[in-house]
Amino acid sequence: MNGLLLINKPIGITSFDVIRDLRRRTGFRKIGHAGTLDPLASGLMLMLFGTGCKQAMSLTKLDKRYIADITLGANSSTGDNEGEKTVVNDHVPTRAEVEAALGKLTGEITQTPPIYSAIKINGQEAYKRARAGETVVIPSRQVTIHENKLLRYDYPTIELESHVSSGTYIRTLAEDLGGLLGTGAYLNGLVRTAVGGYQLEDALVLDEIDSPAVAEVHLRDV
């Protein structure tokens, strides 16, 4: 079994849980992925089998598309719905203000990734250090936001479609948006809809893989 399998990861499990589940369902051990998703996020993951694992680095660098559910009016200690919330204020921005702020967050921008992330600091994931009470400092990085499309705005909820470069954190995008609006903001939900030319609509859910043969027939060359 060699190649690429498109999987629609559900909310509530880790990216490595997907690998474990696929190993159990297929009996195949050499499985990896080309980019994680947080447990509270769902959507497209590129799962790599056998020699396909050699393409992990190049596939990880592909652009991503997301649908984000953002809540205004408060900040979160983790940047998402899992953290402790701190109310900022009750200012209700206009749609024009939201669109103007999103415009400032489009193009090449500087982001500081969240400390509750899988980025490794001295060999250990940042979120593990943060949960252990350590002070975590993550360097800023340049990322490219190709497009921020406002799909729906009904305060305090924003539904946003973003097309971004590899390495972009949508949690940070949400926090930066809240900072520009002066309201605070956190990510309430996230769905990855595309990685490069691969689309979520073509992905399998884990329960559809009820035998090694099903996985094998859906493997793509990479």
Contact 107, 145 (CB under 8 A): yes
Burial 63-94 (b: 16+ CB within 10 A, else e): ebbbbbbbbbbbbbebbbeebeeeebeeeebe
Q: In terms of Cα–Cα distance, which of 185, 176, 156 is closest to 85?
A: 185
Structure tokens at 197: 């030319």
Pairing of strands 64-72, 198-199: unpaired
Look up tokens 């500087």; give the residue: 110
Pairwise CA distance, residues 13 & 15, whole Å: 7
Look up tokens 């649908």; give the residue: 67
Specify which residues 125 forms β-bridges with: 120
Pairwise CA distance, residues 119 & 68, whole Å: 21
63 part of the active site: no
Identified catalytic residue from 17, 21, 38, 63: 38
- Residue type at position 201: E
Active site residues: 38
